[in-house]
Every structure is written in C-alpha cells, then in structure tokens.
Amino acid sequence: MKAPTLPTQRAENLLYALFDAAGDGCHVMTASAGVSTAVVPFHNTGDRTYLGQGIELADVVEATSLTLVGGPCGIVLRTNEEEGTSRVWGWRLDGDAATPLTTGELCRVYSTDWLTGAPLPQEPGLYYDDAPHLPLI
C-alpha cells in the first residue's frame, strides 16, 4: 500500500510542476480552496525560477499546502504575455490528481460572479487556454 503524500510534499510537487509548465515569462499562480488562498508571483528565465521580492519558497510551500488540505481546490496560472495580454490556465485538484481545465470551463469560472452567479464581462486582453497535464509525483 502506498503511503499518503504529505500536504507540504504535494504543494512542493505542484509548485515545481507549475514552474516547469509555465515556461519563460512573468506569472502569477493562485491556489484556492474555500476561503484559503495562496498567491505566488514568479518569473521564469531559462531553467531558473525567481519568486517575487521577499517571497521564500518555504513560505510558498506552507501557504499552498494549507490550501491543499482543504479538500478539492483550484489552481489558476496567469501569464503576462505580449503588451496588454495575459493567458490563463487552470486545474482542479483533488487528492494527488491535477485535472486540467478546458478553455470553456475556465471561461465559465472567470465569467461568473461567484457570489451572485451573474455573468461578468471578459477582461480586455485576457484569453483562456486548455491547461496542460501536470506531472505530480
């Protein structure tokens, strides 16, 4: 029987998979479950990842692991691309699985007010993309 993965190890695996999938550029990862949220700005250049100023990886792993212990949660990765445009990917996390969201699923989430269910206008320059598979070990 396989031993359960600790939340901090799940968070670290998730972060490294996201850093790799994101590619070069400026990014913001947001992990949410209920009222818990972890927001991580980072920049990739080649094979290096730089976290936002004053952010330590250990703190990011801890904040992300607290989000992951809340049961099913979501991860959104926003990448600033060409002048004024941003790409958004998303995943649904449950247990040790990260299920990529399709463009349509992500668009519905971003286009709906979570309190009222009312439709929201699309943010100018923002486009949604099918998320890639994340290899979580």
Residue 72 per-residue DSSP state:
S
Predicted TM-score of the model (pTM):
0.83
Q: 36-53: per-residue pLDDT in tens?
A: 778 889 999 998 999 988
Q: In the numeric block, which tokens belong to residue 42?
A: 């980072």
Contact between 33 and 67 (Cβ < 8 Å): yes
Residues 49-92: pLDDT tens digits? 999 888 888 877 777 776 667 667 888 999 998 788 999 999 98
The span from the CA of 59 to the CA of 65, in Å, is: 10
Task: Note the Cα 40 to chain centre separation in Å.
Answer: 9
